[in-house]
Structure 1
Amino acid sequence: MTPVGFSYLSGWDHEDHTALLGMVKLECQRIAHLPEGAPLGGASTLPYGRQMKDWQNVCAAASAMQGSSATQARQFFESWFQPYLINQQAFYTGYYDPEVSASLTQGGEYQIPVYGRPKDLLRGRNEKGELEYGHWVNSVFRPYDDRATIDGGSLQGKGLEIAWLKSPVDLLFLQTQGSGRLRLPDGQQVFLGYDGRNGQPYVPIGRVLVQRRLMKTEDVDAQSIRDWLARNPDQAMSVLEANPSYVFFRRTQRTADEGPTGAFGLPLTPQRSLAVDKRFVGYGMPVWVDISGKDAQGRFVTWSRMTFAQDTGSDIRGAGRGDLFLGWGDRAAKIAGDMKNYGRMMVLVPLPAPGVGDVPQDGTVAGASAAGAGQTSR
């Protein structure tokens, strides 16, 4: 990562700095309630921001700003944060809060269970400090049952069913997004939140379809996958079970206007919350997203704005990898399904005192070309 000036953030002048300050205040409240010494994540090469103590002065300054003007809010960021450019091409996808038809009782067309977390499913950290899920088998910690085994009935009779769906494809999309809204026959909504996974490797269904020569790489998106599975019910389960990963849920309390809770512990905000790889970008850090290129329909897209690292995902791996939360509803689902864009990513690192960062005054990048530093080919 290379330090850059705020002038390197395309569109920074036109951001809603007051709204951004409000999000920092919410994050500071969350950080204050974390266990003392809890690591926030982030690359080891970053000078600050990986520990709670690195945010103390920033949060105190944010709390002191009551009724601040847009200019003062902007000055807060430029004083208390140092932007760092990730020196490789960033890749962005999108996710959303899906809604599917469901019933709280099994019957009729509702035959696919949504499972809560099994009591013997545990989580811990491996020697690298990474979170792992599994259970003890003959004194050895192993991944839990894979998707095919669970589909075969290994969890039946344990009272784990939260609800019943019409299709295993609906379940897949709930699990891929990590949260969801169940629309019951009487019109009521039940909200689901992520409650762990089985510890098996995640294999994208699109990759399975391409490897089996059932779909071309350029044709893969959320809608095309759903359409293929609907057209080929005789092959659908074989394709679905090629992904051994399985996500468990819990019922949550929220309103229809609220997003699900992300891994950082805050409700996700549409177009402001970003899922990241915690090994490189720590929770809470502001992240400047800069996209320029063609979308899935070949249309030219430019999109630049501040987001916040508030979530993670099993397929979100690597520096410069971001998954943008887009909200709920048909429009969010459509945008999320189409979003596969390259660009740049800048991480704003909190500083222990105002102005101590290495900020190039001319806005150029130290030690890298300003025109696409570290870009790689598709």
Structure 2
Amino acid sequence: MLPSETPLTAPETGRFSFSDLAGWGDDDLDLALTVFRKNPAGPLSGVAAQARDGRSFFEAHFTPSGPINGHFTGYYEPELSGSRVRTPSHPVPLHTMPPGGVSAPRAELDAQLVGQEIAWVRDEVDRFFLQVQGSGRLRLPDGATLRVGYAGSNGHPYRSIGKLLIERGVFGPDITAEALKVWLREDVDRGRAVMAENPSYVFFAERPTAPDAGPMGTLCEVTQGRSIAVDPDHTPLGTPVWIAVDGIARLVIAQDTGSAIKGAGRADLFFGTGKGAGQAAGRLNHPGAFIPLVPR
């Protein structure tokens, strides 16, 4: 039984140790150390750079904190059809942040952002979901790839249109991203009106496109299956966190943030790039064990 399936309490002695983490002995902690090393300079960066064994490093320099009843979702880097110029098949712009920023909500922005276009995508649904994920790769007509990443927002709070449509009885709680995309595209005007109810609008910038590099998170490049987005008001960026949720039990590193990721124990696990990653990310929406490691 996973810790996510039982109330999370520390042992009777009041102490919580690595031996209490089901699966700790089987995890690839060398890989976790490699991901931890991607963090910018911090108190343990020098030690991590010299460490040869992940298990020894984490057990010598950290200790598990009391477990938190967390909630996990997944995110990914989409791959979309795109263009550097406006074409009939790619009429919807992605924008870079204008000088001085903007404060208008989503529904009012397109007309204010003329001249700020950095790329174009197939429709408003592709743009909307790219903004939700915060980064993506565009497949250009000449076969090249353009990677775009988060470059700021209009400052409005994120509102989940999925939750909104569940509340209105349009979908049940088992809603998926793919079903939502189909519904939004069935009636363009209806879809546009619903998307406008999320006033948050994300701006992009071009990012490096090395095929083996992950997208840039808030702290550093993120890694498939080993990076999470957290609420930094509760979990400092750079924190190693043991997670146990939906059959996953491993050490991950807090390296990203997200407008919808709020509260203690809230985490978004990065699943990688492309359609398969998106499907896996969309399936994760469950409670689980969230156990930060704290420096000794």
**TM-score, with normalisation over the residues of structure 2?**
0.91
Partner of 1:145: 104
Partner of 1:131: none
Contact 2:240 2:293 in 1 (8 A): yes
Structure 2: distance between partners of 1:219 and 1:75: 42
- SS of residue matched to 1:90: strand
Which residue type is aligned with residue 332 of structure 1?
Answer: A
Change (3 A) 1:200 1:73: closer
Partner of 1:74: 55
Change (3 A) 1:64 1:232: same
Shift of 1:323: 0.0
**Residue 325 (str. 1) matches residue 280 (str. 2):** no
Structure 2: distance between partners of 1:315 and 1:262: 15
Which residue type is aligned with residue 345 of structure 1?
Answer: F
Which residue type is aligned with residue 343 of structure 1?
Answer: G
Partner of 2:112: 154
Which residue type is aligned with residue 309 of structure 1?
Answer: A
State which drifts further: 72-81 or 221-230: 72-81
- SS of residue matched to 2:65: strand
Structure 1: distance between partners of 2:95 and 2:216: 19
Pairwise mapping of residues 52-131 of structure 1 onto structure 2 (< 5 A)? 52=42, 55=43, 58-65=44-51, 68=52, 72-87=53-68, 89-121=69-101
Unaligned runs of 5+ residues in structure 2 are 1-8
Partner of 2:32: 20
Partner of 1:224: 179
Shift of 1:288: 0.6
Shift of 1:280: 0.9
Moved over 6 A (4+): none
Contact 1:103 1:164 in 2 (8 A): yes
Structure 1: distance between partners of 2:93 and 2:45: 44
| Among candidates 184, 188, 194, match of residue 233 of structure 1 | 188
Pairwise mapping of residues 316-355 of structure 1 onto structure 2 (< 5 A)? 316-351=261-296
State which drifts further: 270-279 or 204-213: 204-213
Contact 2:136 2:149 in 1 (8 A): yes
Change (3 A) 1:14 1:211: same
Shift of 1:94: 0.3
Partner of 1:312: 257
Partner of 2:147: 191
Which residue type is aligned with residue 26 of structure 2?
Answer: H
Residues 306-341 of structure 1 show CA distances to partners (whole Å, capped at 9, x for unaligned) of 100000000000001000000012210100111112
Contact 1:86 1:319 in 2 (8 A): no
Which residue type is aligned with residue 278 of structure 1?
Answer: P
Change (3 A) 1:85 1:232: farther
Structure 2: distance between partners of 1:60 and 1:173: 38
Partner of 2:156: 200
Change (3 A) 1:63 1:102: closer
Contact 1:285 1:350 in 2 (8 A): no
| Among candidates 220, 235, 244, match of residue 290 of structure 1 | 244
Bigger Rg over Cα: 1
Shift of 1:165: 1.3
Shift of 1:242: 0.5
Structure 1: distance between partners of 2:96 and 2:49: 39
Structure 2: distance between partners of 1:64 and 1:252: 30
Contact 1:85 1:345 in 2 (8 A): no
Contact 2:214 2:221 in 1 (8 A): yes
Partner of 1:364: none
CA root-mean-square deviation: 1.7
**TM-score, with normalisation over the residues of structure 1?**
0.72
Contact 1:115 1:161 in 2 (8 A): yes
Contact 1:86 1:320 in 2 (8 A): no
